Structure 1
Amino acid sequence: MSGGARFAIADAPFAVAPLRDALLDAQAGAFASFEGWVRNHHDGRAVAGLRYECYRALAETEGQRILDEAQARFAITGVCCVHRVGELAIGELAVWVGVAAAHRDAAFDACRFVIDEVKARVPLWKHERYADGDAGWLHPGS
């Protein structure tokens, strides 16, 4: 995947190792990643689980645009992001970002840029189910 950038929406759990392996490049001396997991609390409330939904066509287009921007903005050799949709339990992997670069600064900076922009711009929403039986919709940046 040298020079590649790939954004995907996943309907089921996915393996991180093949995504990381696809970013291997002889020019890369650094790799940075981010994993976002479903936590058991939000704003002081106990969370029992959640469901992510998205407008898939727009989410994939905007996600790819973000990765393309990262490729143009940072000196990186590759970048990938996968975000889950559907029902997720506490502790499950919800989003993964991986970045390869010649140097660590670019890898770290691009990784932070990608996750921040995905949370701000990609049309994904989460429906949290609380332990008290209540539920509510949130943008995943929450």
Structure 2
Amino acid sequence: MTVVESWAFVDGHGHGDGCGDGALPVAPDDAIAVLRRRIAHGTFESWLAGSSGRLLAVVTNAERAMVMLLNGAGDPGEHATDPGAEGWSDGFVLANGQSDEYPDEDTVPLEEALRIVRHVLATGGPPADAAWTVDR
């Protein structure tokens, strides 16, 4: 039997995020519902910690999202990409208030991001058909 990693919402430092979503493991579909709710309420940066110590970050502007998977704090990680996308998007607001912009090729449409996040939470990795770049 394969044991899949459990995931919980945390702050960017790997601690319970204090917004009522943190510390308790969350099922993949429930995590997507929480992400949608957080985005609808203007929280554009979300982190989940896996039971193995990995971190999954989602930073969005409500249209596109940067999805990063890290082996732990300080790891350059890997991220979802959109090969061939042109231009830049802004409005990626971090928890500290900083507003970032990213090349569209380093982000994916929000629905694709949520599909990828759900798959990572369910299986431990991105879907085979998702474009992915390792930054290590």
TM-score normalized by the length of structure 2? 0.24
Relative to its length, the structure with more strand (as a share) is 1
Structure scoring higher RCO (CA < 8 A, sep ≥ 6) equals: 1
Rg bigger for which structure?
1
Relative to its length, the structure with more helix (as a share) is 1
TM-score normalized by the length of structure 1? 0.23
